[in-house]
Copies of this chain bind each other. A is one copy, B any other.
Amino acid sequence: MKKLRVALLGCGNVGSQVARILLDDAGELTTRVGAELELAGIAVRNTAAPRDVELPAALFTTDAEALIDDADIVIELMGGLEPAATLIRRAIDGGATVVTGNKALLAKDLPGLSARAGEAGVQLSYEAAVAGAIPILRPIRDSLAGDRITKVMGIVNGTTNYILDAMDTTGAQFDDALARAQELGYAEADPTADIEGHDAAAKAAILATLSFHAPFDLDDVHCEGITAVTADDVAAAREQGMVIKLLAIAERLGDGNGSEGVGVRVHPTLIPRVHPLAAVHGAFNAVFVEADNAGELMFYGQGAGGKPTASAVVGDVVSAARRVVLGGPGRTESTTGTVKALPIEAVSTSYSIGLRVNDKTGVLAKIATIFTDRGVSIESMRQIPEPVDGDDPGSATLRFVTHQGSEAALAATVADIEALKVVTAVTSVLRVEGN
């Protein structure tokens, strides 16, 4: 029976689980592939470092290049741009099948890597890069290849979903929910990449590239994190029958000149509690897809963690290995479309705006005039008359939800309102989706 040599680069949380599966389930995987998958070695920086899983010491090496040059299949789980990019290119050029979960690298240059793999005739797979165990990239690339995706909207970062869900269920402030997530291992010691939305933005770029068959990178993504979300925002959302989620959104838009573009953005978003994404709790992920013919689809599961992510990696390995056994080049994505990324100002959305005002007489008229002047239509307004500690006794909270309008008009409206003397503070501005 044919034997395929597998090189593993990186042995952290996910890598160690991948190694375990390749070793423990070798028999079953061999049957599925029609060839033996032999774990030839694991390249790491420090061969003596402790691992999550007990693995044979003989597998470890610091010489990634030698391992790659002798492998049929290379699994890259080091993360980061370098040396991962150089090693992946070396593997591709050497004719190896490559499986990676490296979202940073793909968000930078998925089309370039894919084209290079296409020229070499090798398969480049990366299901694990977005939403962990959830099969989402292959369905978008292959199952929906005959449809026209109009919008993709996903909870693709487990850490932020855990924090927002905890704030919603316990009423906690952001800092406390973050601290708790860190204690439980759902957030890293330095949580910046998660809570500032950078991780979700990388995934948004990858989702957009595959969904709209054109290259999008991190620079095309408008990105806002969740650090400004307060317990008051969460409570107010609840009153409105909504919940706040950090969503990665990519959608087709008119560009205002009769042609089309794609808006890609990550930001905290109000969604109605009846929306399927509202029921995604804890560190789970889900991606909601709208397509012309398929209608609404949702994919749900564990978006992070060693074992779930390893499932996606080994799925790619088995699938690509079958192709090696069958013969014929690996498949590539179609990313040569000409649809362009549009700036956030081109997006059409609706806003929920919270204000503190210190004088009720005539205030509403003044604010309503601003909305009218900016061409933004109000869907609902709610006044909460109770004063907040330290505020003037006459102060009140107003909460507006607008109909859909251009982001530019909405942003200008908020700026105008903020400039009103009677407005003490704009306490929150959140976009609304799924209405």
- A residues within 8 Å of B by Cβ? 17, 21, 25, 28-29, 31-34, 127, 133-135, 138-139, 142-148, 213, 276, 279, 291-302, 307-308, 310-319, 322-323, 326-329, 331-332, 334, 336-337
Instruction: Specify the chain B residue showing the minimal Cβ separation from A28.
Output: B148
Interface pair B279/A294, CB less than 8 Å apart: no
**Contact A334/B32 with A144-B311, A291-B311 known, Cβ cut-off 8 Å:** yes
**Contact A315/B135 with A295-B307, A295-B308 known, Cβ cut-off 8 Å:** no
How far does the alpha carbon of A296 sit from the alpha carbon of B312 in the complex, in Å?
Answer: 13
How far does the alpha carbon of A33 sit from the alpha carbon of B213 in the complex, in Å?
Answer: 11
Task: State how many copies of this chain the complex holds.
Answer: 2
**Contact A133/B276 with A314-B146, A334-B31 known, Cβ cut-off 8 Å:** no
Interface pair A293/B310, CB less than 8 Å apart: yes
Interface pair A301/B295, CB less than 8 Å apart: yes
| Residue with the greatest number of chain B CB neighbours at <10 A, chosen from A139, A146, A279, A331 | A146
Instruction: Specify the chain B residue showing the minimal Cβ separation from A296.
Output: B301
For residue A214, give the distance in angstroms from its CB to the closest CB of chain B.
10
27 interchain pairs (CB within 8 A)? A31-B337, A133-B293, A135-B138, A135-B144, A138-B142, A142-B315, A142-B319, A143-B319, A144-B315, A145-B315, A145-B318, A146-B315, A146-B316, A146-B318, A292-B307, A293-B310, A293-B311, A294-B301, A295-B302, A295-B308, A297-B299, A297-B300, A298-B298, A322-B331, A326-B328, A326-B329, A326-B331
How far does the alpha carbon of A316 sit from the alpha carbon of B141 in the complex, in Å?
Answer: 11
Chain B residues contacting A308 (CB-CB under 8 Å) are: 293-295
Interface pair A146/B21, CB less than 8 Å apart: yes
Interface pair A300/B276, CB less than 8 Å apart: yes
Interface pair A213/B31, CB less than 8 Å apart: yes
**Contact A314/B147 with A301-B298, A328-B326, A329-B328 known, Cβ cut-off 8 Å:** yes
Interface pair B296/A302, CB less than 8 Å apart: yes
How far does the alpha carbon of A14 sit from the alpha carbon of B131 in the complex, in Å?
Answer: 32
How far does the alpha carbon of A224 sit from the alpha carbon of B345 in the complex, in Å?
Answer: 55
**Contact A143/B315 with A148-B28, A213-B32, A328-B328 known, Cβ cut-off 8 Å:** yes
Instruction: Specify the chain B residue showing the minimal Cβ separation from A329.
Output: B326
Chain B residues contacting A336 (CB-CB under 8 Å) are: 31
How far does the alpha carbon of A307 sit from the alpha carbon of B293 in the complex, in Å?
Answer: 5
How far does the alpha carbon of A327 sit from the alpha carbon of B323 in the complex, in Å?
Answer: 11
**Contact A29/B146 with A295-B133, A300-B298, A329-B327 known, Cβ cut-off 8 Å:** yes
Q: Supply 17 further A-B pairs (C-beta < 8 A) apart from A31-B334, A138-B138, A147-B314.
A: A21-B146, A28-B148, A32-B213, A33-B334, A127-B143, A135-B142, A145-B314, A293-B310, A294-B302, A295-B301, A295-B308, A296-B301, A296-B302, A297-B300, A299-B300, A326-B328, A326-B329
Interface pair A297/B301, CB less than 8 Å apart: yes
Chain B residues contacting A294 (CB-CB under 8 Å) are: 133, 301-302, 307-308, 311-312
Chain B residues contacting A291 (CB-CB under 8 Å) are: 133, 311
Instruction: Specify the chain B residue showing the minimal Cβ separation from A118.
Output: B326
Chain B residues contacting A25 (CB-CB under 8 Å) are: 146, 148
| Residue with the greatest number of chain B CB neighbours at <10 A, chosen from A17, A127, A307, A313 | A307
From B146, B276, B331, give the contact of A323 (CB < 8 A).
B331
How far does the alpha carbon of A302 sit from the alpha carbon of B291 in the complex, in Å?
Answer: 11
Instruction: Specify the chain B residue showing the minimal Cβ separation from A289.
Output: B301
For residue A187, give the distance in angstroms from its CB to the closest CB of chain B.
20
